[in-house]
């Protein structure tokens, strides 16, 4: 277990808190996040990179968890954010991040998104020439200029789940290397956009550092061509994607130091040869917050049929990763954490679908109704991807800091389900 997860008197603890007490105090299901762990993760990753080069900027990939408290935690560490929507912009600014520390990403921005970037002075990662022209017009209409990067499609195969490999030649993201110079030329010719960076992201949950080194090589090649046409790069953004060891026993996840050791020499050699000194930006989501959080869920009933099911109160409405990507999350019997694993269980949620399985065929202690299960590494793309499917209000999120524990999001109620609904006139 990572250092913030421990066992005392048979109970799983997170930070300085007993998970059984937290479940009693706040109810289940419950997401519990250790703020100290996020701070530690940020320091470790940013330290590993700055050890090689001082001009590093860490942009939190806000989609991993959009709670304002998480933005504030990372803002206080000096992080900026990779933002994909007007909502993420609003949250980042509300947390005190400066517009200049954000990058507005995305392959399908609305006119309103572009106008927002112009209004706030947020740099934009432009995903197509069409978007470039729209942005130029929006900035022109406001009488200003927007700094941009283009998102490059590096055509790199990455070893991860196909749904989260974004740098493939066939992916919807980015501009193919063969078209990228023309895009920059066009930007140079326009009056209200100023190309200052390059952006790339090859995918997520990558457990090998080699694809990142390859990505940086591709970006350095683009930077070389850009120098020739007169683009002066102030940043190169290599995106996020560093994976974490969800299978603690078998995954060999690179450390941030190994990641830095793989990418930084390629980057430093490249920029030295080109005689430029751009900032290096990274956009980690999962690595910063993935392991900071457990999802606590109560066993409602146990059934032995052709196998044994532990039916719990959280399903893919609250954690969709196992269902959507066949992801593995470790589960712990939180109130019997010392007991021997004696029986194989599938931990299944309350949703009316066969695929609603949080954990398949796991050896766990003998379970009964009322027991508490902790699903580990639920911090990234956990609550963020939750839904109200089956008309279930979303659960609460709690933040811990040392001895303190507080709600960072209350549980939704049945009234929250109906609040946005409107009675149509002919049913009044």
Active site residues: 352
Does position 205 interact with ligand LLP (CB under 6 A)? The reply is yes
Residue 131, annotated as binding a ligand? no
Residue 284, annotated as binding a ligand? yes
- Contacting ligand LLP (CB under 6 A), which of 35, 82, 215, 371? 82
- Contacting ligand LLP (CB under 6 A), which of 192, 245, 276, 325? 325
Phi, psi values for residue 32, rounded to 5° = -125, 125
- Contacting ligand LLP (CB under 6 A), which of 80, 167, 211, 241? 241
Considering beta carbons, is residue 158 or 337 the nearer one to ligand LLP? 158
Strands 80-83 and 396-401: unpaired
Considering beta carbons, is residue 13 or 151 the nearer one to ligand LLP? 151
Residue 325, annotated as binding a ligand? yes
Site string for ligand LLP, 352-381 (x = CB under 6 A): ----------------------------xx
Residue 379, annotated as binding a ligand? no
**Least separation in angstroms between CB 71 and ligand LLP:** 15
Residue 321, annotated as binding a ligand? yes
CA distance 171 to 152: 11
Residue 96, annotated as binding a ligand? no
Residue 60: both structure tokens together: 């939190």
Contacts of residue 241, defined as CB under 8 A and 6 or more positions apart, other chains included, come to 158, 160, 201, 202, 203, 204, 205, 206, 212, 284
Question: In terms of Cα–Cα distance, which of 191, 272, 262, 181 is closest to 229?
Answer: 181
For 257-393, list the strands marked E by DSSP: 279-282, 293-304, 308-312, 331-333, 343-348, 357-364, 372-375
Site string for ligand LLP, 59-78 (x = CB under 6 A): --x-xx--------------
For 185-288, list the strands marked E by DSSP: 193-199, 235-237, 279-282
Query: Per DSSP, what are the bridge partners of residue 400?
Result: 34, 405
Considering beta carbons, is residue 163 or 303 the nearer one to ligand LLP? 163
**Least separation in angstroms between CB 204 and ligand LLP:** 3
Buried b (16+ CB within 10 A) or exposed e, 252-274: ebbebeebbbbbbebbeebbeee
Tell me the longest C-alpha to C-alpha distance in the chain: 72
- Contacting ligand LLP (CB under 6 A), which of 86, 164, 274, 276? 164
Q: Which window, 73-81, 116-124, 283-291, 409-417, contacts ligand LLP (CB under 6 A)?
A: 283-291
- Contacting ligand LLP (CB under 6 A), which of 19, 41, 73, 105? 105
Classify residue 99 by its DSSP letter. G
Residue 157, annotated as binding a ligand? no
CA distance from start to end of the chain:
56
CA distance 84 to 19: 33
Does position 286 interact with ligand LLP (CB under 6 A)? The reply is yes
**Least separation in angstroms between CB 203 and ligand LLP:** 7
**Least separation in angstroms between CB 223 and ligand LLP:** 19
- Contacting ligand LLP (CB under 6 A), which of 15, 197, 240, 349? 240
Q: Which window, 200-208, 254-262, 269-277, 337-345, contacts ligand LLP (CB under 6 A)?
A: 200-208
> Under rule CB under 6 A, how many of the chain's residues touch ligand LLP?
23
Task: Please list every residue from 287 through 306 that binds ligand LLP, using CB under 6 A.
Answer: 287
Residue 382, annotated as binding a ligand? no
Does position 239 interact with ligand LLP (CB under 6 A)? The reply is yes
Question: In terms of Cα–Cα distance, which of 58, 111, 57, 121 is closest to 89?
Answer: 121
CA distance 78 to 101: 9
- Contacting ligand LLP (CB under 6 A), which of 37, 214, 321, 362? 321
Contacts of residue 322, defined as CB under 8 A and 6 or more positions apart, other chains included, come to 316, 328, 329, 357, 358, 359, 360
DSSP, collapsed to helix, strand or coil, labels residue 108 as: coil
Residue 252, annotated as binding a ligand? no
**Least separation in angstroms between CB 173 and ligand LLP:** 7
Does position 131 interact with ligand LLP (CB under 6 A)? The reply is no
Does position 114 interact with ligand LLP (CB under 6 A)? The reply is no
Residue 259 CA: distances (Å) to CA of 44, 211, 256, 265, 406: 12, 10, 5, 11, 34
CA distance 326 to 201: 22
CA distance 294 to 86: 28
Does position 147 interact with ligand LLP (CB under 6 A)? The reply is no
Binding site residues for pyridoxal 5'-phosphate, as ranges?
A: 241, 283-286, 381
Residues that bind ligand LLP (CB under 6 A): 61, 63-64, 82, 105, 164, 166, 201, 204-205, 239-242, 283-287, 321, 325, 380-381
Binding site residues, as ranges?
A: 241, 283-286, 321, 325, 353, 381
């Amino acid at each position: 277990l990572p250092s913030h997860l421990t066992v005392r008197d048979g109970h799983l603890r997170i930070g300085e808190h007993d998970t059984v007490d937290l479940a009693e105090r706040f109810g289940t299901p419950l997401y519990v996040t250790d703020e100290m762990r996020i701070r530690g993760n940020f320091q470790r990753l940013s330290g590993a990179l700055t050890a090689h080069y001082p001009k590093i900027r860490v942009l939190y990939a806000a989609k991993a968890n959009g709670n304002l408290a998480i933005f504030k935690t990372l803002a206080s560490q000096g992080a900026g954010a990779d933002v994909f929507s007007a909502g993420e912009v609003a949250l980042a600014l509300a947390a005190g991040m400066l517009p200049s520390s954000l990058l507005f990403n995305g392959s399908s921005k609305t006119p309103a998104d572009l106008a927002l970037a112009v209004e706030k002075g947020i740099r934009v990662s432009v995903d197509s020439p069409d978007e470039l022209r729209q942005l130029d017009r929006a900035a022109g209409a406001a009488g200003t200029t927007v700094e941009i990067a283009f998102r490059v499609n590096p055509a790199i195969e990455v070893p991860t789940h196909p749904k989260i490999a974004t740098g493939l030649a066939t992916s919807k993201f980015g501009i193919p290397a063969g078209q990228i110079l023309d895009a920059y030329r066009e930007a140079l010719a326009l009056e209200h956009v100023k190309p200052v960076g390059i952006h790339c992201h090859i995918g997520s949950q990558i457990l090998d550092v080699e694809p990142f080194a390859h990505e940086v090589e591709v970006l350095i090649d683009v930077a070389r061509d850009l120098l020739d046409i007169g683009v002066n790069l102030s940043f190169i953004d290599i995106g996020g994607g560093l994976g974490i060891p969800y299978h603690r026993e078998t995954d060999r996840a690179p450390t941030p130091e190994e990641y830095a050791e793989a990418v930084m020499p390629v980057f430093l050699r490249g920029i030295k040869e080109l005689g430029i000194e751009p900032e290096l930006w990274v956009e980690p989501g999962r690595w910063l917050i993935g392991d900071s959080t457990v999802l606590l869920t109560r066993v409602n009933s146990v059934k032995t049929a052709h196998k044994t099911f532990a039916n719990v109160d959280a399903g893919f409405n609250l954690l969709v990763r196992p269902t959507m990507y066949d992801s593995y999350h470790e589960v712990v019997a939180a109130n019997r954490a010392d007991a021997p694993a004696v029986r194989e269980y599938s931990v299944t949620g309350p949703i009316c679908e066969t695929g609603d399985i949080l954990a398949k065929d796991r050896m766990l202690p003998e379970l009964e109704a009322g027991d508490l299960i902790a699903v580990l590494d639920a911090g990234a793309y956990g609550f963020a991807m939750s839904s109200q499917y089956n008309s279930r209000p979303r659960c609460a999120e709690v933040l811990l800091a040392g001895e303190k524990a507080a709600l960072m999001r209350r549980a939704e109620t049945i009234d929250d389900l109906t609040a946005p609904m409107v009675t149509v006139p002919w049913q009044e």
